[in-house]
Structure formats: C-alpha cells, structure tokens
C-alpha cells in the first residue's frame, strides 16, 4: 500500500438505533402487518438489518381509510399556512436527524455516505422547505383561483433514492392538501420508517401520512384501491405500464416517472477535464442506479480517443467499497437481483462486439458489487445502447456533427434527461432545443433542485415533479383542470433556453 492511499474513515453506525422489527405506520400508530414479514439487508455485507412487515389488502384498506378520515376531518379543512407549519417542522427535523438518516440510507441502500450525507438528505430537507413555502400560496401556482387537493394519494417509490423519492412525493402532496399512503421499495424500507418517526415527532394529525411496506402485491393493492384519488409512481417502465392500465378509466389521476437512457453529449470544444468529471458523475453517481443517469456517452469523433483515455485514468482512481467509509466513491449494488441484471446486460454488450473495460478495483468478498465499467465502440443498435442497465456501466458512441449527435441522442424510447458539454453557449442552446428530454443539463449533470421540474417524455413517463409543476400533479383547478394543465407536450423555446442556461 502506497503512502498516498487513503486510510479507512468509516462513519459510525452508532447514531442509528434500528429496531429489530418494524410494523406498518397507519393512522399515526405502529401496527402489525398481516402479510409475511421479510428482512431488509445491507447490500454491502448481506447482514440482516431489520425485519419488515408486509401489508396485505386488508392493511392497505386500513391505511387508505385512515388517509381518507384525515383528509375529510382535518387536513383538507386546515389553512394552507397551518399545513405549511407542519412541513417546515418536518424539514427542520430532517436536518436535525440528518446524520442518522444518511447512515441509515447508506446501510440499507449501499450508496456511499458522502452521497447520502451531501446530496440525498440535504435535498430531502430542501424539498420540504420548498413545498412548505407553497402551502399558503396555492392561488398563485398558475392553476386558477382556489385550486383544490385531489384527496388520498397512493405513492409508490423505488430503491435508488429511498428518502429523496419519499420527499419528492410527500412534500408536494401535503402542501397541496392531500393525505398520503406511501409504499417504499422492499429492499430499502428503513428511511421511510424512520421518516414515520419524524411524522410522529412533528405531531402531524394521525392519518395524514401512512407508510405501508411490502413488495409488488402491496403496491398493486394500493393502486387498485377504490378509495385512492391519485397514484404517483417512480420505478420501472414495465410496472409503470401496468399501473397505467390498472387506473385507466377510473377517476384516479396518475403521474409516472420511469426509466431513462440519457445521452451525455461531449463536443470537441468542451473543457475535457470538466467533461470527464461530468461523465463520471453522470454514470457512476449512486452506482448508476439513477433513472436520469448519463448512460450513453456521445463523444465527437475527433476527441474520442482522448476522452476515453482520460476517462479510464479517472475511473482508475475511483474507490469502491464500504458505503459508510467517507472516502468511498462507488458503493454496493442494491440487490443480488439488480447485480444479476447488470452482469447479464454487460455480457450481452461483450457478445455484441463492444469493447469492455473495467476499472481495476478489489471487490469485497460479501455483498453485491460491480466495478465501474465502460463499453467502447458501441453501435446505436446494440442492446446496451438501448436498454436501461441501471448500474455503473457506460456505453460510448461517437458522432461527427451536431445533427448526428441530436439524432443519436433522440434515438431511444426514453426521454428523461440529457447532458451537453461545449464551450459555446449558442451551440448548447441550439442542441438543447432539439433534444427530446425532460431535463437538459449543460456543462454539468445530475443536478437537482426543488424549484426545477423533473420528468420525462415518451416511455420515461408523464407528469412533472418539483417546482410549481410538481404541485399541479396534486391539485385540481376550479375548471377541473388537473395535473397536466401545466405540462404542455412541447416546451416553449424560451423555457428550454432558461433550463439549458441555468442547469440547477
């Protein structure tokens, strides 16, 4: 070991006092689930962290009934200013318990502590602060005078940003006056359960927030439930499609935030070192478990070799290992199932003739790991250029002209995000204007802000989260205009320009 290497710097686990088992959080109380309990494990060590209840149909029924009572009797009658006070209280409690939440998130999800500590948890607090400010200003959200809440929202979230996705769902729903039943993903329920404690600490009226745990069948029961007025889902396109079918023809409003296969476009006039950092952040942040990950690198042909060479050098310095170590860049893959999928798709990449290169790193004995990997000479038609891998795997493609870059970038069934790297502002604006992606980052990547709407085109879903657009998904205006009123099919050129310039 060289003297230049980092000494271990593990964050202490002592700050998190996990209970051996968790029930469901319904009507302000912890209750037993009637389904079969399951374990949540640390993907870095495969150690069992806690026993988690499964909500069956009956439990889901109780949760929806509690949310309905809370909606009818308290939450929908409360002034926006008072709802805002509760949300501010939650935001402050998240800040007070930030370290504990970050450690719990890294334990349960496998993400590096520096990400959960510096990105996820601060954004969770920011989301609650932001929507707390909206609660008494709904008349000014652009939805007409006196917009109304929808009622009970069923919210189903994935495992890649467990607490952040919870905040993206719960904060706007409550600010708009809805009550919620939220189901976290089965591999990462812990921070949602700690959040239930925060709800109790904040003395929210019982039933305003209910947390039910379980896997797909619990989610299905929730989506199907006739007492639900709104379904908000983030997850795979396959499940999103199923949900859209289930709610079709009912009164339920739905927003779906699904998969992606984002292009990260590097022009030859880009500051290359900065672009390399952006490529790394785009695909290796959160082990690539990011729906807006920059998983397709489109690099201009004349700088291709240089970019790939520098990228490999940078990747060789990434430290993979214990998520709780403050020096770790790449944590664990969230589950064995996901690891199998990443391996299978990578094998297909090789079989289809792409050149595979993985960063040289030591893989720990236990747990689920995948070394940061790039595939060079990938063609547009190859599987790894089309399918979402949802792991630390980058496909490299080349282009010669901006027009070719745009065509290749848009050649995907998805349309969630994209990145552009160039020194020329006019080129960035011209290209951003033609990309069919909900978010376009310029000379940066994977940046989030509660004031900025986020969402997709095509198979990446519909509806927007964040900003006042995110509020629209939980309100109906007097005319009955609903969630989509603020989301035109095509953004105006001026809107796109604003976003391209100030990627938040």
Active site residues: 257, 291
Q: Sheet harboring 48-52: ordered strands across? A: 21-22, 48-52, 38-41
Task: Supply the minimum distance, in Å, between the C-beta of residue 246 and ligand ADP.
Answer: 8
Task: Supply the minimum distance, in Å, between the C-beta of residue 336 and ligand ADP.
Answer: 13
Task: Supply the minimum distance, in Å, between the C-beta of residue 99 and ligand ADP.
Answer: 26
In this chain, which stretch among 2-10, 161-169, 216-224, 438-446 interacts with ligand ADP, using CB under 6 A? Answer: 216-224
Number of residues in the chain: 504
Closer to ligand ADP at the Cβ: 66 or 185? 185
End-to-end CA separation in angstroms for the chain: 40
50, 132, 239, 247: which one binds ligand ADP (CB under 6 A) = 239
Task: Supply the minimum distance, in Å, between the C-beta of residue 82 and ligand ADP.
Answer: 31
Residues whose CB is less than 8 angstroms from the CB of residue 28 and which lie 6 or more positions away in sequence, other chains included: 199, 200, 204, 205, 206, 207
Closer to ligand ADP at the Cβ: 48 or 241? 241
d(CA 110, CA 98): 17
Task: Supply the minimum distance, in Å, between the C-beta of residue 421 and ligand ADP.
Answer: 28
In this chain, which stretch among 22-30, 47-55, 218-226, 482-490 interacts with ligand ADP, using CB under 6 A? Answer: 218-226
236, 377, 410, 484: which one binds ligand ADP (CB under 6 A) = 236
Q: One symbol per residue from 105 to 144: x for binding ligand ADP (CB under 6 A), - otherwise; what is it?
A: ----------------------------------------
Q: Which of 362, 504, 385 is nearest to 444 (CA)?
A: 504
DSSP 188-209: --HHHHHHHHHHHHTTPPTTSE
d(CA 452, CA 465): 8
Residue pair 319/328 in contact by the 8 Å Cβ criterion: yes
In this chain, which stretch among 120-128, 211-219, 265-273, 325-333 interacts with ligand ADP, using CB under 6 A? Answer: 211-219
Q: Residue number with the shortest CB distance to ligand ADP?
A: 219
8, 10, 142, 216: which one binds ligand ADP (CB under 6 A) = 216
Closer to ligand ADP at the Cβ: 224 or 458? 224
Q: Sheet harboring 393-399: ordered strands across? A: 355-358, 373-376, 393-399, 296-300, 263-266, 417-421, 439-442
Identify the residue whose tokens are 């790939």.
Answer: 308
Closer to ligand ADP at the Cβ: 22 or 75? 22
Task: Supply the minimum distance, in Å, between the C-beta of residue 458 and ligand ADP.
Answer: 17
Q: What's the DSSP call for residue 330?
A: B
Helical packing angle, 493-501 and 425-434, nearest 10°: 130
The dihedral sign for the CA sequence 387, 391, 397, 401: positive
The yes or no reply on residue 97 touching ligand ADP (CB under 6 A) is: no
Q: How many residues bind ligand ADP (CB under 6 A)?
A: 17
Which tokens go with 503?
Answer: 């990627």
Q: Sheet harboring 209-211: ordered strands across? A: 29-31, 24-26, 209-211, 179-183, 152-156, 230-234, 253-257, 461-462
Beta pairing, strands 417-421 & 439-442 = parallel
Closer to ligand ADP at the Cβ: 220 or 460? 220
Task: Supply the minimum distance, in Å, between the C-beta of residue 502 and ligand ADP.
Answer: 30
The yes or no reply on residue 244 touching ligand ADP (CB under 6 A) is: no
d(CA 495, CA 110): 37
Task: Supply the minimum distance, in Å, between the C-beta of residue 276 and ligand ADP.
Answer: 28
d(CA 47, CA 366): 9
Q: Which of 131, 71, 429, 395 is nearest to 264 (CA)?
A: 395
The yes or no reply on residue 254 touching ligand ADP (CB under 6 A) is: no
Task: Supply the minimum distance, in Å, between the C-beta of residue 58 and ligand ADP.
Answer: 17
The yes or no reply on residue 215 touching ligand ADP (CB under 6 A) is: yes
The yes or no reply on residue 242 touching ligand ADP (CB under 6 A) is: yes
Closer to ligand ADP at the Cβ: 240 or 415? 240
Residue pair 441/418 in contact by the 8 Å Cβ criterion: yes
d(CA 150, CA 173): 9
Residues 155-194 that bind ligand ADP (CB under 6 A): 156-159, 183, 185-186
Residues 395-454 that bind ligand ADP (CB under 6 A): none
Closer to ligand ADP at the Cβ: 54 or 300? 54
Closer to ligand ADP at the Cβ: 191 or 220? 220
Residue ranges that bind ligand ADP, judged by CB under 6 A: 156-159, 183, 185-186, 215-216, 219-220, 223, 235-236, 239, 242-243
């Amino acid at each position: 070991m060289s003297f230049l290497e980092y000494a271990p710097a593990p964050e202490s686990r002592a700050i998190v006092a996990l209970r051996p088992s968790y029930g469901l959080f319904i009507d302000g109380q912890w209750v037993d689930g009637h389904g079969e309990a399951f374990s949540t494990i640390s993907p870095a060590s495969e150690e069992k962290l806690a026993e988690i209840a499964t909500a069956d149909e009956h439990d889901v029924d109780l949760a929806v009934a509690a949310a309905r009572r809370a909606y009818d009797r308290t939450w929908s009658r409360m002034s926006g200013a008072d709802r805002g006070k509760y949300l501010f209280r939650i935001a402050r409690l998240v800040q007070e318990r930030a370290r504990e939440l970050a450690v719990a998130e890294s334990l349960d999800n496998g993400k590096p502590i520096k990400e959960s500590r510096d990105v996820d948890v601060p954004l969770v607090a920011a989301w609650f602060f932001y929507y707390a400010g909206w609660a008494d200003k709904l008349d000014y959200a652009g939805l007409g005078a006196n917009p109304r809440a929808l009622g009970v929202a069923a919210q189903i979230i994935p495992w890649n940003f467990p607490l952040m996705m919870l905040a993206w769902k719960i904060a706007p729903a409550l600010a708009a006056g809805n009550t919620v039943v939220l189901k976290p993903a089965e591999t990462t329920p812990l921070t949602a359960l700690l959040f239930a404690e925060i709800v109790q600490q904040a003395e929210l009226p019982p039933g305003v927030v209910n947390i039910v745990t379980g896997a797909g069948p619990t989610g299905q029961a929730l989506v199907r439930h006739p007492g639900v007025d709104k379904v908000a889902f983030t997850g795979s396109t396959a499940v999103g499609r199923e949900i859209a079918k289930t709610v079709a023809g009912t009164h339920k409003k739905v927003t779906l935030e699904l998969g992606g296969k984002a292009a990260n476009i590097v022009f030859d006039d880009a500051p290359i070192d900065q672009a390399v950092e952006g490529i790394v952040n785009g695909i290796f942040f959160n082990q690539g478990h990011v729906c807006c990950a920059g998983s397709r690198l489109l690099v201009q042909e004349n700088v291709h070799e240089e970019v790939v060479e520098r990228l490999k050098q940078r990747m060789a310095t990434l430290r993979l290992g214990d998520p709780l170590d403050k020096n770790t860049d790449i944590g664990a893959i969230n589950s064995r199932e996901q690891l199998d999928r990443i391996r299978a798709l990578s094998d297909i990449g090789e079989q289809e003739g792409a050149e595979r290169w993985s960063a040289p790193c030591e893989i720990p004995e236990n747990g689920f790991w995948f070394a940061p990997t790039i595939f060079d000479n990938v063609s547009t038609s190859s599987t790894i250029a089309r399918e979402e891998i949802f792991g630390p795997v980058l496909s490299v493609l080349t282009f010669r002209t901006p027009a070719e870059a745009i065509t290749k970038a848009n050649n995907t069934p998805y349309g969630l995000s994209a990145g552009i790297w160039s020194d020329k502002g006019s080129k960035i604006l011209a290209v951003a204007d033609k990309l069919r992606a909900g978010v376009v980052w310029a000379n940066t990547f994977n940046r989030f802000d509660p004031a900025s709407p986020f969402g997709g085109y095509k198979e990446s879903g519909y509806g927007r989260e964040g900003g006042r657009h995110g509020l629209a998904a939980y309100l109906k205006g007097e005319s009955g205009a609903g969630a989509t009123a603020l989301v035109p099919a095509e953004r105006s050129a001026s809107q796109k320009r604003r976003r391209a310039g100030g990627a938040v």
